[in-house]
């Protein structure tokens, strides 16, 4: 059994994207232009986020989509993309659970992992669900025989150890 604690409470940050908004954004996330019109622009919000995740791999459910969005917003603002390593809980869930699940959508996998995902498609709720899934299904790398510098593929649990507030029982 592993216990994880937050170093500080998670902050919820929102940002606007110049004058770009679509009906799709509202349909999926329930956000309207009015919800974010007073929010800081992405570069300002990114300046707060980047130091917290610099050098760490990122985890997302259907990570190619999230990585594509992150790349696109960097391009929109003519910012250099930092080339993060992504882990995908959707792809991993297909390997771990296979056909035992009717689908591998975030809410389905979260439920299978014992996590109650409320407010699906709300960024913070989805991120917390994804982190809990990752802690359960992304395996620890084998321990090196000799004392070496940390492996590039550090277990995702090590990355979230300071962020996740709940106790998690490791599946065996």
Q: What is the number of helices (H) and of strands (E) in the chain?
A: 8, 6
What percent of the chain has pLDDT above 90?
Answer: 33
* CATH number reported for the structural domain that contains residue 56 in this entry: 3.30.420.10
pTM, 2 dp? 0.67
Q: Distance between CA atoms of 150 and 148, rounded to whole angstroms?
A: 6
Lowest mean pLDDT among 11-15, 70-74, 76-80, 98-102: 11-15
Question: Do 63 and 92 meet the contact criterion of CB atoms below 8 Å apart?
Answer: no
Q: How many domains does the chain have?
A: 1
**Domain membership of residue 15 as a residue range:** 2-168
pLDDT of residue 107: 94
Is the confidence at residue 119, as pLDDT, over 90? no
Cα dihedral 2/3/7/13 (nearest 10): 80
pLDDT of residue 153: 44
Hey, how many other C-beta atoms are within 10 angstroms of the C-beta on 86?
Answer: 14
Is the confidence at residue 168, as pLDDT, over 70? no
pLDDT of residue 144: 52
Write the pLDDT tens digit of every residue in 75-114: 989 999 998 889 999 999 999 999 999 999 999 999 999 9
Structure tokens at 170: 């490791």
Structure tokens at 42: 């992405």
Average pLDDT, the chain: 74
Of the pLDDT bands very low, low, confident and very high (cuts 50, 70, 90), residue 139 is confident
Hey, how many other C-beta atoms are within 10 angstroms of the C-beta on 22?
Answer: 9
* 127 vs 13: which has the higher pLDDT: 127
Q: Distance between CA atoms of 52 and 171, rounded to whole angstroms?
A: 29
């Amino acid at each position: 059994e592993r216990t994880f604690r937050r170093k500080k409470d998670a902050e919820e940050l929102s940002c606007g994207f110049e004058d770009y908004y679509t009906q799709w954004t509202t349909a999926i996330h329930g956000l309207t232009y009015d919800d974010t019109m007073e929010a800081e622009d992405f570069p300002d919000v990114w300046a707060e986020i980047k130091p917290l995740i610099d050098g760490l791999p990122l985890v997302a459910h259907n990570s190619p989509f999230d990585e594509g969005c992150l790349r696109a917003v960097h391009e929109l603002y003519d910012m250099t993309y930092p080339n993060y390593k992504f882990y995908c809980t959707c792809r991993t869930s297909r390997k771990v659970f296979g056909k035992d699940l009717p689908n591998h959508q975030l809410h389905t996998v979260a439920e299978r992992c014992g996590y109650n995902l409320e407010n699906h498609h709300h960024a913070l709720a989805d991120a917390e669900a994804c982190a809990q899934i990752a802690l359960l299904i992304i395996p620890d790398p084998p321990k090196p025989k000799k004392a070496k510098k940390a492996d590039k593929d550090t277990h995702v649990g090590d990355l979230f150890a300071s962020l996740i507030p709940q106790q998690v029982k490791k599946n065996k």
